[in-house]
Amino acid sequence: MRKQEIEELIRLVEESGINELEVSHGRKRIRISKGGSALFHGVAAGQPPAPAPHPSPQVAGSEDDAGEAGGEEKLASNLKQIKSPMVGTFYRAPAPGSEPFAEIGQTVAVGQTVCIVEAMKLMNEIGSDFNGVIRRVLTENGQPVEYGQPLFLIETK
């Protein structure tokens, strides 16, 4: 995140009724609290992701999970999820009628923008955390998303 983006987030918190805001982008996270201090730090690569507030959507159609019992499906080891770093509205393209940032079957690189999550009137570009090929888009364009909600399935090499 650039300094100007951080300053804009600070202004939004100060001017709104929000007491605290946390935003993640890739491996970086910032938390801004009224009456507190702003923290900006990287997350260690081995640190587990924060739990999603609700169960993740199930992924169907993989040969690896076809025979599993118990109803809970597991992702193949080469399939990774790009998750929403915030609550907001999911958009696949930069503007209505524009080409999507990423399509199924497209190869993406770490940091490459794959979608936008709009939060508090800010358009936040969401980058891929992995090198690989997009295999599924798990959210419909224009739909609300929760923190930690899977947005894409990426097949890594």
Look at residue 13 and give its three-state secondary structure: helix
Q: What is the pLDDT of residue 1?
A: 65
pLDDT of residue 8: 79
The proportion of the chain whose per-residue pLDDT surpasses 90, expressed as a percent, equals: 46
* pLDDT tens string 127-138: 999 999 999 999
In the chain, the amino acid numbered 62 is: S
pLDDT band at 65 (very low <50, low <70, confident <90, very high): very low
In this predicted structure, what is the pLDDT of residue 47? 45
Per-residue pLDDT tens over the stretch 73-106: 567 788 999 999 999 999 999 988 899 999 999 9
Query: Which domains, from first to last, does the chain contain?
Result: 1-44 (no CATH), 77-157 (2.40.50.100)
Does 22 score more than 60 pLDDT? yes
Angle among Cα 149, 43, 38 to the nearest 5 degrees reads: 95
Number of Cβ atoms within 10 Å of the Cβ of 61: 9
Name the burial class of residue 19, with classes exposed (0-12), middle (13-18) and buried (19+) by CB atoms within 10 angstroms of its CB: exposed
Triad 8, 118, 142: Cα angle to 5°: 170
Question: What's the sign of the alpha-carbon dihedral 153, 91, 100, 140?
Answer: positive
Better-scored residue on pLDDT, 142 or 31: 142
Q: Give the pLDDT score at 30.
A: 78
Give me the pLDDT at residue 24, please.
75
How would residue 51 be classed by pLDDT, with cut points 50, 70 and 90? very low
DSSP 100: P
* Secondary structure letter of residue 24 according to DSSP: E
Name the residue with tokens 């295999």.
Answer: 135
Q: 128: closest CA among 111, 144, 150, 146?
A: 111
What does pTM read for this prediction? 0.53
